[in-house]
A and B are shown apart, each in its own frame.
Chain A
């Protein structure tokens, strides 16, 4: 039993803010104050974090079901610290960008804050059970946010997302129970550290069934092809803050979970099922990529693009080496920041014009230069241009995955020649994916911001105030880590437990 972890405050601040908002405090002011306070709390935690130490820090534990080895254990290492950073900063941006709806502003802000508490709790949990539980905290707020304040066909989108996510999470629950049951009797625990220690001692049989349950469960949550169909519609319909938190942070939960659980505990299964996962992620990149090009509305296009980019991170995961996993971790952060900015800007445009149809928009960069510039930055970052942190991530993933697997040698006319193995073919598909994403991002930019400005849009107001500040901060972080990715690499390296 140790003292109370400072990470507990990171979880409690949004929950308490939500309670205050429900109890009658000024919703917008309280939410922004709470989110800002959480960023400060996080910075304080980060200052005291010792990057040289490999193990979890700020650990505190409270037994909940001792019979089954479940305890409420909080802690952070380099990887979770990065995810926590992403969570608190995107939360702040989301509440700054949020437009208070005319009625029921209280539930609106309380729902956003509860999602935030869920993601912070998930990334701060060392206990796998609570890691799972906190993720599910977002389920009902998301349902309400999309269903009440969404746009377009919001009811269908909310139902679809909810049923998909509930199914995925219960399959995941089976995977987690399976992970618990393959631990040796007597040393069974839901504590991640105990699980990894058992695995490293060679006491955990590498169970393909458990891996498949985890992969399908996490896969549905991360929108792995062919389980991705809920995502674009839900993100397109959800109000901007909900999409920012969901696509930016919450969805990273699945990949984070795979890197945390499958890599150290079930590495052989990861390799055994690599051909299947490589095929699926290639579909994520190519098939969903082409679907993205075909979209005629900005919100749906961004939804599809966020599904597509998950393919890269899956590639980094399945290649299972130091370089690729580091790249995948970096991409978790970079994609989260990028898609959050893009959805925030998308929401701003919808707020101003009431439509996101490419055919109706055009030339609005003339009326709103700051908005146009910010979108341009974010689009470039999404494509993976050097100077943004996404570039570092993608590069590491490509290098890592290309080097993975056995070299395939074949014979051509009796001579031994070099051939590509599955990892390398998938990498080539992924590199082609960059071309695809450049096509749709630039096309979208041209359709929305370039070209002749119609009279309808000539008086659009530009970005101002808090939303402006929030978007600038997110872009600045992307640029900063784009120039100094080594900071992130140093943080992540000790946290990645390679088999």
Chain B
């Protein structure tokens, strides 16, 4: 049995070790670094099953929380990073073309190492139970992501994405800090558990000030999870960033945002007078996000951008689940949805990277006739799109079902109705990629798309899990907090 905090320390050490290797080893093939990173993360993932669940000494520190939710998201972050690295290995030729350097492989090593540091930040975030700790972990994640988004320096789109992400990220950080100071000023604490304790003795007159602080914090988290009206950075950044980093942003960063949201809201939900207002805010956010994400996705012709809007839409469904948090099953529904979202989004990106490499672009038209060239890849993408849309017998359907069930049980009828209407528009834009693959003829002179064995394994596993969980969700539910 090992101390849980050793997991994060292990990941940080892995990152430093890889940096050393990058600097001092004379190997020109940087892909080896990625293999080492994947190996190391897999080891940490395995170790995560042998940790002390009730560690001595950590209990009362107040900074670091060990519960089933944090453990689940640590594994989530580890797996997401592993898949991102697999994507990065496939994507590296494009990165090398777009990074100015003397030799093609120079300057591509950090592309594999930065995600490891991000991973450590994500894992800390899952355990953070103090505003200061949350802030530090958040900054570790965000700052390493700034670099990764702007990594391909010769691509203007990537630079633009990096700048946008940096400016808006900094702005949201400002909101976050400002909110924390208000809450600290009213309750005298930054620790979430102590805030909850102090809330009951704060005089009624000061509640408005606390709500104001909380609203600022919500704005900042809204940026992270890409909820409308704080979503406007998403399409450009997703489209401009290197594809593996887009996947990382869409899955890991968003999931971490939701963990923080769950943690931050928890103490405030206990008080009756806050509960109604918070639910109202969440309902409004969810409705806006659902409508904006789904409707704006309809006219898109670039697949990466489409996935950006789709990630906004999925944030909307997750917010519906959070608004229904009073239901006994809602918490698990949200986490289940995140698990399903992980699988289907990564599957879509895993198919997209080799296709982009073979056809030279990531528009929907680059998928034309894929079913005739690579039936296996097309089938995987078909399943990913079906799951994202919410077709039964895929994990995406069960995710939506659980969330709608919880919301109906909490009598959020209007929200559910908006959800259903937006699901229908989701069918339209996700099926556009199916149409491109199956209806349209393949362009001349295109052969089968080459896929590396590691990607093949990942694609196979994701596809299988989507289908198995689409029939037997209990497999994942039993691991949920």
The reply to whether A133 and B393 contact each other, CB–CB distance below 8 Å, is yes
Task: Give the number of residues in B that approach A within 8 Å (Cβ atoms).
Answer: 34
In residues 359-381 of chain B, which contact A (Cβ within 8 Å)? 371-372
The answer to whether residues A140 and B391 also contact, given A166-B427, A173-B404, A177-B405 and a CB cut-off of 8 A, is yes
Q: How near does chain B come to A224, taking the closest CB pair, in angstroms?
A: 18
Residue of A nearest to B437 (CB): A144
Q: Are B416 and A174 in contact (CB under 8 A)?
A: yes
**Which of B389, B393, B408, B420 is close to A181, meaning CB atoms less than 8 Å apart?**
B408
User: Assuming the A-B contacts A133-B392, A181-B409, are A64 and B428 also in contact, with contact meaning beta carbons closer than 8 angstroms in the complex?
Assistant: no
CB contacts (< 8 Å) of B401 on chain A: these are: 173, 177
Q: How distant is the Cα of A199 from the Cα of B134 in the complex, in angstroms?
A: 51
Q: Which residue of B390, B392, B405, B424 is within 8 Å of A68 (Cβ)?
A: B405
Contact string, A162-176, partner B, CB cutoff 8 A, digits 1/0?
A: 110011001101100
Q: Mark A92-131, 1 if CB is under 8 A from B, else 0.
A: 0000000000011001000000000000000000000000
One of B144-152, B209-217, B289-297, B466-474 at the interface: B466-474
Q: Say whether A137 contacts B393, CB under 8 Å.
A: yes
Chain A positions within 8 Å of B397 at CB level = 133, 136
Pairwise interchain contact B434-A140, C-beta atoms closer than 8 A: yes
* Chain B: CB-nearest residue to A217: B420
A367 CB-CB contact with B under 8 Å: no
Q: Are A170 and B392 in contact (CB under 8 A)?
A: no
Contact with A along B310-347 (1 / 0, CB 8 A): 00000000000000000001000000000000000000
The answer to whether A166 touches B477 (Cβ under 8 A) is: no
Please report the C-alpha to C-alpha distance between residue A136 and residue B396 in the assembled complex, in whole angstroms: 13
State whether the Cβ of B461 lies closer than 8 Å to any Cβ in chain A: no
Contact A104 B416 (CB under 8 A): no
A132 within 8 A of partner (CB): yes
Chain B residues near A140 (CB-CB < 8 A): 382, 386, 391, 434
| B230: interface (CB < 8 Å) | no
What separation, in Å, do the CA atoms of A251 and B246 have in the docked complex?
A: 41
In the complex formed, the residue of B with least CB distance to A171 is B420
Bound-complex Cα distance A54 to B390 (A): 36
Residue-wise interface mask of B (403-421) relative to A, using a CB-CB cutoff of 8 A (1 in contact, 0 not): 0110011000000110011
A244 → chain B closest CB, angstroms: 22
A377-411 interface code vs B (CB 8 A; 1 in, 0 out) = 00000000000000000000000000000000000
Q: Which of the residues A65, A134, A143, A174 comes within 8 Å of B434, measured between beta carbons?
A: A143
Q: Which of B329, B386, B392, B404 has the most CB of A within 10 A?
A: B392
Interface centre among A132, A148, A166 (most CB of B within 10 A): A166
Which A residues lie within 8 Å of B408 (CB)?
Answer: 174, 177-178, 181
Q: How far, in Å, is A134 (CB) from chain B's closest CB?
A: 8
- Cβ contacts under 8 Å, A137 to chain B: 392-393
Q: A147 an interface residue at 8 Å Cβ cutoff?
A: yes
Counting CB contacts under 8 A, is A66 at the interface? Answer: yes
**Does A67 have its Cβ within 8 Å of any Cβ on chain B?**
yes
Tell me, rounded to whole Å, the shortest Cβ–Cβ distance linking A269 to chain B: 17
Let me know if A421 is at the binding interface, CB within 8 A: no
| B372 & A104 in contact (Cβ 8 Å cutoff) | yes
Q: Indicate which residue in B371, B405, B431, B472 contacts A143 across the interface (CB closer than 8 Å).
A: B431
Which residues in chain A, 174-225, are within 8 Å of chain B measured between CB atoms? Answer: 174, 177-178, 180-181
A14 to chain B, nearest CB (A): 14
B405 surroundings in chain A (CB, below 8 A): 68, 177, 180-181
Smallest CB–CB gap between B326 and chain A, Å?
14
Instruction: Assess whether B39 is interfacial by the CB under 8 Å rule.
Output: no
Contacts of A428 in B (CB 8 A): none
CA separation between A67 and B398, bound complex, in Å?
A: 13
B contact residues around A65 at 8 Å (CB): 473-474, 477
Instruction: Give the complex CA separation of A162 and B423 in angstroms.
Output: 12
B300 to chain A, nearest CB (A): 16
Convert A19-60 into 0s and 1s, putting 1 for each residue whose CB lies closer than 8 angstroms to a CB of B: 000000000000000000000000000000000000000000
Is B477 in contact with A67, judged by CB distance below 8 angstroms? yes
> Does B439 sit within 8 A of A, measured CB to CB?
yes
Nearest to A67 among chain B residues (CB) is B329
B420 to chain A: which residues have CB within 8 Å? Answer: 167, 170-171, 173-174
* Closest A residue to B472 using CB positions: A64
- Inside 8 A of B421's CB, which chain A residues have their CB? 167
CB pair B473–A64 under 8 Å, yes or no, is: yes
A139 at the interface (CB under 8 A from B): yes
Asked if A155 is at the interface of the complex by the 8 Å CB criterion, the answer is yes
Considering the chains assembled together, what is the distance between the CA atoms of A66 and B478 in angstroms? 11
Q: Is the CB of B404 within 8 A of A177?
A: yes
Is the C-beta of B131 less than 8 angstroms from some C-beta in chain A? no
Which residues of the other chain, A, contact B386 by a CB distance below 8 angstroms?
A: 140
A137 to B470, CA, bound (A): 12
| B residues less than 8 Å from A136 (CB atoms) | 391-393, 397
B438 lies within 8 A of chain A by Cβ: yes
Question: Is the Cβ of A163 less than 8 Å from the Cβ of B428?
Answer: yes
**B97 within 8 A of partner (CB):** no
Question: For residue B434, which residues in chain A have a CB less than 8 angstroms away from its CB?
Answer: 140, 143-144
A159 lies within 8 A of chain B by Cβ = yes
Contact between A132 and B329, CB atoms less than 8 A apart: no
Residue B35 at the chain A interface, CB threshold 8 Å = no
From B409, which residue of chain A is reached at the shortest CB distance? A181
B471 to chain A, nearest CB (A): 7
Find chain A residues with CB under 8 A from B409 CB: 181
A173 to B404, CA, bound (A): 9
For A132, list chain B residues within 8 Å (CB): 392
Given contacts A144-B438, A166-B424, contact A68 B431 (CB under 8 A): no
B427 and A163: CB pair below 8 A? yes
B435 at the interface (CB under 8 A from A): yes
CB distance from A63 to the nearest CB of B (A): 8
State the CA gap A177–B406 with chains docked (Å): 10
Contacts of B390 in A (CB 8 A): 170
Residues of B within 8 A of A162 (CB): 427-428, 431
Chain B window 124-168, contacts with chain A (Cβ cutoff 8 Å), 1 for yes, 0 for no: 000000000000000000000000000000000000000000000
Q: How many Å lie between the Cα of A67 and that of B401 in the bound state?
A: 14
Of the listed residues B372, B389, B427, the one surrounded by the most CB atoms of chain A closer than 10 A to its CB is B427
Residues of B within 8 A of A148 (CB): 438-439
User: Taking the nearest CB of chain A, how far is it from the CB of B255, in angstroms?
Assistant: 22
Q: Which residues of A contact B371 (CB under 8 A)?
A: 104, 107
Most-contacted residue by chain B among A67, A68, A136, A173 (CB, 10 A): A173
With a cutoff of 8 Å between Cβ atoms, the chain A residues found around residue B439 in the complex are 147-148, 155
Residues of B contacting A67 in the complex (Cβ-Cβ under 8 angstroms): 329, 477
- Bound CA–CA A68/B474 (angstroms): 11
Q: Please measure, in the bound complex, the distance between the C-alpha atom of A166 and the C-alpha atom of B294, giving whole angstroms.
A: 15
Q: Which residue of A lies closest to B405 (CB)?
A: A177
Most chain B CB within 10 A, of A67, A107, A143, A170, is at: A170
Decide: B428 and A174 in contact? CB cutoff 8 A. Answer: no
Contact partners of A177 in chain B: CB under 8 A: 401, 404-405, 408
* Bound CA–CA A137/B473 (angstroms): 17
A383 to B165, CA, bound (A): 66
Interface string of A142-153 (1 = CB under 8 A from B): 011001100000
* Complex CA–CA separation, A171 to B473 (angstroms): 22
Bound-complex Cα distance A139 to B393 (A)? 11
Are A64 and B474 in contact, with the CB atoms below 8 A? Answer: yes
A166 touches B438 (CB 8 A): no
Closest to B439 in A: A147
* Complex contact A163–B404 (CB within 8 A): no
Complex interface: chain A residues within 8 A of B473 (CB): 64-65
3 tightest A-B CB contacts, nearest first: A133-B392, A167-B424, A136-B392
Other 11 A-B pairs with CB < 8 A, given A159-B431, A170-B390: A64-B471, A132-B392, A140-B382, A140-B434, A147-B435, A148-B438, A163-B424, A166-B427, A170-B424, A173-B420, A174-B417
12 A-B interface contacts by CB (under 8 A) = A63-B474, A64-B474, A66-B474, A107-B438, A132-B392, A134-B392, A144-B434, A144-B438, A166-B423, A170-B390, A170-B424, A177-B404
